[in-house]
Amino acid sequence: MPYLLFENGGYSTIKRSLGFWEVRNIRRGDELMSVHMLLLDSNVSSVFEANVSKARRMN
């Protein structure tokens, strides 16, 4: 399982990736809409769900 390092200001934490999947819109040519991840912290005390959505361009 891959490990990910997250840094926020003076804090950092290591998370283990339990799952990773993409959400795609097949009606728009298989366009990537978002990425979802299931993460476990390095102390095995919490499970986190992360969602990264596609940024919308402003005209």
pLDDT tens digits for range 1-22: 566 666 677 677 777 777 778 8
pTM of the model: 0.48
In this structure, are strands 11-25 and 31-41 parallel, antiparallel, or unpaired? antiparallel
pLDDT for the residue 58: 42
CA 50 – CA 59 distance, rounded (Å):
28
